[in-house]
Each structure stands twice: as C-alpha cells, then as structure tokens.
C-alpha cells in the first residue's frame, strides 16, 4: 500500500501546482462526473476519495452538495484547506456555515475514515483504484459499499487497459505505479452480490505531464 510520504514525494517530484478548473482535462473530468449525477445534488452527501487538490469537490460544493474530501497526501490536504475550506471566494458564494461543514480527511485507506456506515449518497473515486495493489482493490470497494446508503451510487474511473501511458518515459521513475497497474478491468473486482454496474463511459483526457491523451473508463455503480 502507498503511504502519505510516498505521495508527498510524488507531488514534490512533479512540482505540483493546483490546476485551474478551466483547464481542459479538469473541465472534462467535471463534465463526465456530472453526467452521472442528478441535476439537483443540493445537500446530497458526497465523498470525494483521494481527491488530490480537491478541484472536483470544489465544483460540487458550488452546486450546494455536502462534500467530504479524503486524500492520502498531507501536502494536498493542506492545499484543499487553503483553496476550499478557507476560500474567501467560495465563502462569499456559499457562506461560511456551508463551507466549514466540508470535512477534510488525511487517510491512507477507506478503513481509516472516521465516518459511520451508510453516510454517503455518492462516493467518487477518480483514477484511484489502479494505483492500489490488486490484492487490496476489493477491500477498497467493500469499504465504499459500507459508506454508501442503500440504492445510492459510486462513480469510479479506471485507466483503460489499452492506454499507451505505460510506455511513456514519464513512468520510468514511477516504479510503484508500474508494478500495481494491471490489465485487469474494474468489473473483476466488483462483488456482484453488493453492487450493480449501471453505466459506463469512455473518455480520452489530455494532461500536460503526458505526451498523449489517456483513455479513462468511468463506471456508475449502484449499491444493492
């Protein structure tokens, strides 16, 4: 399993800066996720798991959802707090009371989240599970199942197994990612007694750090 120290090191090596929400790949992520969500998500409780700098959750807050941010990197957690929870811009739109209800968790895995079962209407995990050692992936999904209210849904994205990204030079230093990435597809880890895959969506996303667009497959998965 990855550690906070590992991911802090990853972001340091990338000299990470928070992407602007109008950046092309951020707009693409937000639009695809919103495709799976109902038009009205006001007061819906949403978990944005391993959320990076919190850009997606920030946009959902603007739609008046109640968003919890969970992230493994302490550097990203601090960024979320500065950009979202203590944002003067968001405060002027949403009000301090609404904004301060957004919780930010610095956790290594879902089992460390201090929330009760059946807390969330939606769980979102964008490009998370392919970073996880395959033997822990089902455990992650099962914990998400516990978080979700009955008949509510999670949105999971997964790099497509045809993706050319593994052949790029950028991956050479990132040995741990290479070792955990497999050609398995997400449905192989979904417990069919607990979940139903309702919809899939394939998207091609371009990030500045990659030479070519990467192919991402999104899944809308409902808790039975």
Show me where the domains of the chain are located: 4-223
The token duo for 216 is 């991402």
Q: What is the pTM of this model?
A: 0.82
Predicted local distance difference test score (pLDDT) of residue 108: 87
CA 138, 140, 142, 148 torsion-angle sign: negative
Find the mean pLDDT for residues 135-153. Answer: 91
Q: With H, G, I as helix, E, B as strand and everything else as coil, classify residue 71.
A: strand
User: Residue 171 above 50 pLDDT?
Assistant: no
User: Residue 208 above 60 pLDDT?
Assistant: no
Beta bridge partners of 204: 215
Max mean pLDDT among 63-77, 89-103, 198-212 falls in: 63-77
* Average pLDDT of the residues of the chain: 78
Look at 4-13, 52-61, 68-77 and tell me which has the smallest mean pLDDT.
4-13
By the 8 A CB rule, do 63 and 85 touch? no
Give the residue carrying structure tokens 């996720």. 33
Find the mean pLDDT for residues 26-46. Answer: 86
Phi and psi (nearest 5°) for 148? -75, 145
User: Residue 86 above 50 pLDDT?
Assistant: yes
Look at 5-19, 136-150, 183-197 and tell me which has the smallest mean pLDDT.
5-19
By the 8 A CB rule, do 48 and 157 touch? no
Predicted local distance difference test score (pLDDT) of residue 117: 95
The CATH superfamily label for domain 4-223 reads Vaccinia Virus protein VP39 (3.40.50.150)
């Amino acid at each position: 399993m990855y550690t906070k120290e590992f991911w802090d090191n990853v972001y340091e090596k990338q000299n990470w800066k928070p992407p602007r929400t109008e950046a092309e790949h951020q707009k693409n992520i937000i639009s695809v996720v919103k495709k799976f969500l109902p038009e009205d998500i006001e007061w819906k409780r949403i978990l944005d798991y391993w959320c990076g700098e919190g850009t997606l959750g920030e946009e959902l807050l603007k739609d008046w959802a109640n968003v919890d941010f969970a992230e493994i990197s302490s550097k990203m957690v601090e960024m979320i707090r500065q950009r979202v929870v203590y944002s003067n811009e968001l405060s002027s739109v949403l009000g301090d009371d609404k904004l301060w209800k957004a919780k930010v968790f610095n956790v290594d895995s879902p089992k460390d989240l201090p929330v009760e079962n059946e807390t969330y209407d939606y769980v979102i995990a964008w490009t998370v599970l392919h970073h996880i050692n395959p033997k822990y992936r089902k455990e992650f999904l099962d914990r998400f199942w516990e978080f979700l209210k009955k008949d509510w849904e999670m949105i999971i994205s997964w790099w497509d197994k045809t993706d050319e990204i593994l052949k790029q030079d950028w991956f050479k230093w990132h040995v741990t990612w290479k070792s955990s990435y497999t050609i398995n597809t997400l449905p192989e880890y979904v417990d069919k007694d607990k979940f139903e895959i309702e919809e899939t969506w394939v998207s091609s996303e371009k990030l500045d750090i990659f030479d070519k667009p990467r192919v991402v497959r999104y899944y809308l998965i409902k808790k039975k």
